């Protein structure tokens, strides 16, 4: 958390606010470990005077394209978020990075838990970041056949595979649980054992869960905000995630929480059975 829908909303909201802005300086940095590359001194020096040309996303990384081939990237991790301040304002104790623009506005990076990270990348570094991640699940090349190939070439439990950013980019705990519920597939199923119908259902369900998150502005469980400081509302539309003991919207049985790959996982054990021969056709 944040996952693909949340980072995408951050990118879209930032695009409306700061594309074309000129960076005056990094005016505040109290957590130097958040900068993974380059050195802190180089980070400050190279950002000064840069112009923001575009805002995008790769996997769970926010990409801020600058002039002269540089890209400022952020990984929000558990509790990070970015806001734009219209006027000069002092940072509070949870703001760890401030970038000031020549028009007087400021970019604040907030992070209660200090897990967030940033990198300033040249074209080689950006290419390496891209190559370290798998297929984007909302792009045209994420087809049923592509998903089938990814699943059947691996002997892995299904949910950990969905969370593997080198395989499919951008899916985290929330949207994996929601997608598997939509598809009526148990998260402990072995990926290579899914039949053609199950693969097609899962493909549709991954897209459905992510698109629902996008439509609802992302999920705010604790800290997530877009760059206007607005919370998402997708948490009001969860079917299984964080809904322990609530009735399954499809069958009425209670939602359960199990552990899969050391991650809390929410399922309807009645709809999502481990025995594929007992699974009913999806009615999502």
Of 100, 249, 263, 276, the active-site residue reads: 263
DSSP symbol at 31: -
Give the separation between CA 248 and CA 252, rounded to whole angstroms. Answer: 5
Determine the distance from the C-alpha atom of residue 112 to the mean position of all C-alpha atoms in its chain, rounded to a whole number: 18
Six token digits for residue 103: 């028009």
Residue 3 among the catalytic residues? yes
Of 50, 57, 58, 60, the active-site residue reads: 60
Residue 159 among the catalytic residues? no
Residue with token string 């005016």: 27
Q: How many CA atoms lie within 13 A of 63 on its CB side?
A: 21
Give the separation between CA 217 and CA 204, rounded to whole angstroms. Answer: 20
Helical residues (DSSP H) of the chain, grouped into ranges:
4-18, 40-47, 123-131, 144-152, 158-163, 173-183, 196-215
**What residues have CB less than 8 Å from 151, skipping those under 6 apart?**
158, 161, 191, 192, 194, 199, 202
Query: Active-site positions?
Result: 2-3, 60, 263
């Amino acid at each position: 958390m944040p996952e693909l829908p949340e980072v995408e909303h951050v990118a879209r909201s930032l695009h409306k606010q700061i594309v074309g802005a000129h960076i005056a300086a990094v005016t505040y940095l109290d957590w130097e470990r958040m900068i993974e590359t380059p050195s802190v001194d180089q980070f400050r020096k190279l950002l000064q005077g840069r112009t923001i040309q575009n805002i995008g996303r790769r996997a769970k990384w926010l990409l801020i394209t600058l002039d002269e081939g540089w890209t400022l990237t952020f990984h929000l991790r558990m509790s990070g978020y970015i806001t734009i301040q219209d006027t000069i304002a002092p940072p509070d104790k949870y703001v760890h990075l401030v970038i000031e623009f020549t028009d007087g506005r400021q970019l604040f990076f907030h992070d209660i838990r200090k897990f967030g990270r940033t990198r300033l990348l040249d074209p080689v570094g950006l290419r390496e970041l891209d190559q370290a991640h798998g297929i984007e699940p909302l792009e045209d090349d994420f087809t049923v056949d592509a998903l089938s190939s990814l699943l059947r070439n691996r002997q892995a439990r299904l949910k950990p595979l969905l969370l593997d950013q080198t395989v499919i980019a951008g899916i985290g705990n929330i949207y994996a649980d929601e997608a598997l519920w939509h598809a009526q597939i148990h998260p402990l199923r072995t990926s290579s054992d899914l039949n053609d119908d199950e693969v097609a259902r899962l493909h549709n369900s991954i897209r459905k869960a992510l698109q629902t998150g996008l439509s609802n502005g992302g999920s705010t469980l604790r800290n997530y905000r877009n760059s206007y400081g607005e919370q998402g509302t997708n948490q009001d539309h969860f079917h299984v995630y964080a809904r322990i003991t609530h009735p399954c919207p499809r069958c009425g049985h209670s939602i359960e929480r199990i552990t899969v790959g050391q991650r809390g996982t929410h399922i309807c054990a009645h709809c999502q059975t481990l025995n594929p021969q007992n699974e009913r056709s999806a009615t999502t």
